[in-house]
A and B are shown apart, each in its own frame.
Chain A
Amino acid sequence: MIEAVGLTKRYGAKTAVYNLSFQVRPGVVTGFLGPNGSGKSTTMRMILGLDRPTAGRVTIGGHPFRQLPNAPRQVGALLDAKAVHGGRSARNHLLSLAQLAGIPARRVDEVLGVVGLQDVAKRRSKGFSLGMGQRLGIAAALLGDPQVLLFDEPVNGLDPEGILWVRNLMKKLAAEGRTVFVSSHLMSEMALTADHLIVIGRGQLLSDMPVKQFISANSADFARVRTPETEPGLREKLSGVLTEAGGQVLSEPDGALRVTGLPLPRISDLAHGADVRLWELSPHQASLEEAYMRLTQGAVDYRSTDDKLAHLQAPPQPGQPGYGMPGHGMPQPPVAPDAPGQGGWYAPPPPGQNPPGPNPYGQAPAGPNPYAAPQPPAAPSDTTEDAR
């Protein structure tokens, strides 16, 4: 059992973790999610007593880590796969760690087998790939047969077979009644591995609940509607009708419409009433990835912008159609607002619930269409996440 209470860490003026309180219980895999730079690793380091919290405390089994009797037998951790002296062989690296806790050398060979490194045990870890480094780090964590395990991004650099192996290992460790705390920025991976999720953004707790509950609380179901491609007018007509009826309509890149706020039969009735034929009307449930993206979109520190290649592109050459033409490959402003970048791509939140701040993903194109604003009808004054 890991328990954090009011955990806060400041590095100078920058607050890495702020007032974080959570519990990690034994018997389940607890996923620790957050965008890059959200404070996951800092939190992990504070759990292990490597960094001192500015305020608050974190305990393992009721003890601060630095006061744990024989820590390696109680807590195993993978923090950084490359945190190994490159000149030392994998086996000697593990041996030096084993000797710290009075673990017999036999156990070293045992865990080398568990992680599949027995054939390279004598090789210097300098030549290891990232995946092999991760396996070595996992071996170090398993060495003391600890009841509490922390893994910081364990699947980084692993091949699909390795990812599957880690996933099953985590589940097996949790099923044995251990406390398993796994950080990742890959929601899709956590969806398959974790039972419980702790999500942080910019160092603050965003969510702490079972995975199933997380999805239903954070996702909005939507309907995909496709009108005949042969008659483009119908698409605008339908999106107008749906918006008037209280739905929110987003345009998908392939021309389909993404509708929220209206049940499927109602969409069908409205289309029928407007005399619009439908090629597709299908229900969709937002994935965990989408739920996560929406939850953290206000808390992303490092956000990429479009690479416009403005200085690299050749000036438009008349007579050279296609290449280098401005707007090449981009459709003209659509009638329904295009789902811009990643952000708007995901379903807008249910009204009044968890409104994102001012849309962080670039400007939504101010479409000439007045009836399809992409912003949810939430108060745009809620800027707490961005204001910090």
Chain B
Amino acid sequence: MAAVPAVLRSEWTKIRTVSSTVWTLACALIVTVAMGAALSAVLKSTFNDLGEVERATFDPTFVSFSGMVLGQLAMVVFGVLVVGTEYSSGMIRTSLAAVPQRATFLFSKVAVAGALALGVGLVTSFLSFFLGQALLGEHRTTIGADNVLRAVVGGGLYMGLIAIFSMGVAAMLRSSMLSLGILVPFFFLISQILSAVPKAKEVARYFPDQAGAKIMQVVPDAMGSDKAPYGPWGGLGIMLVWVVASLLGGYLVLKRRDA
């Protein structure tokens, strides 16, 4: 058996020695923080133009995380590339010839890449929060307020889980292009559009991103968003189910199919 620590070390070497890692993760951080800061600044100046409901449920924490909508796409790309390049380069055959145990190989890879994504996600969410609050002026909240810390840590968890979910999907589809072609439109368009359509949003609220994003809200149903039949942790739980399902699917594909 290839020892798990050895496989973890090897996967870490693989991740840190390709430039796409730095690019995608830096992109996720910068885009999320910058867009969150920009929207916080805009909302500060247009606060009085907001509707009644929005003002009543104004959630400064959630506002500072507005950049996640775009930043999560970089996380998706990171997750897909970590797994997908094994297939596109043919490296998977070399890897599996060295680690014949499929479970050890896949879950070590996911553990290393997931931990890295989680770390970057946490840094991103704390930066977004503090920068966003600084720009919100008199509408800001503090990290010590009720549930705020949970939301900020949750933002980091959300980004990490999005990346891990993408890794599972890429392992199932065994192709970077195919995975990106499905995941990016899904998160950026389909999920966003469906969540605005009556009826469809009943389903869309169980999508991984919609459910998981609840953890970042401090005020329930923040900013006039729809009432969800689950709480913040319930939402994250739904997202976790998606992540586990995608990893399980990826593992079964890796185990059953010829490399």
Chain A contact residues, CB within 8 Å of chain B: 45, 48-52, 65-72, 75, 77, 79-80, 82-89, 92, 95-97, 99-102, 140
Contacts and interface: CB of A to CB of B under 8 A. Distances in A.
- Which of B2, B19, B98 has the most chain A CB within a 10 Å cutoff? B98
Given A100-B6, A102-B6, A88 B98 contact: no
Contacts of B192: none
Contacts of B6: 99-102
Contacts, number: 95
A302 B1 CA distance: 41
B12 to A, nearest CB: 8
Contacts of A83: 89-94
A69 to B, nearest CB: 6
Contacts of A97: 10, 94, 98
Contacts of B2: 70-72, 100-101
B90 A80 contact: yes
Given A83-B91, A84-B94, A99-B10, 12 more contacts: A49-B97, A65-B100, A67-B100, A71-B97, A71-B98, A71-B100, A79-B93, A82-B89, A83-B94, A88-B14, A100-B7, A101-B2
Contacts of A65: 100
B97 A77 contact: yes
Contact of B13 (A67, A79, A95): A95
Interface of B: 1-3, 6-7, 9-11, 13-14, 17-20, 85-86, 89-94, 96-101, 258-259
Contact of B20 (A45, A87, A92): A87
Given A45-B93, A100-B99, A87 B13 contact: no
A52 B258 CA distance: 6
Contacts of A86: 89
Contacts of A101: 2, 6, 98
Contact of B97 (A69, A79, A88): A79
Dominant SS among interface residues on chain A: loop
Given A50-B258, A101-B2, A85 B91 contact: yes
Given A87-B20, A100-B2, A100-B7, A50 B93 contact: yes
Contacts of A77: 97
A84 B97 contact: no
Contacts of B13: 92, 95-96, 99
A72 B99 CA distance: 8
14 contacts: A45-B93, A48-B96, A50-B259, A66-B100, A70-B2, A72-B2, A82-B89, A82-B90, A84-B94, A92-B13, A92-B17, A97-B94, A99-B9, A100-B2
B10 A100 contact: yes
Given A65-B100, A71-B98, A79-B97, A89 B17 contact: yes
- Which of B9, B258, B259 has the most chain A CB within a 10 Å cutoff? B258
A130 to B, nearest CB: 14
A177 to B, nearest CB: 22
B20 A70 contact: no
Contacts of B20: 87
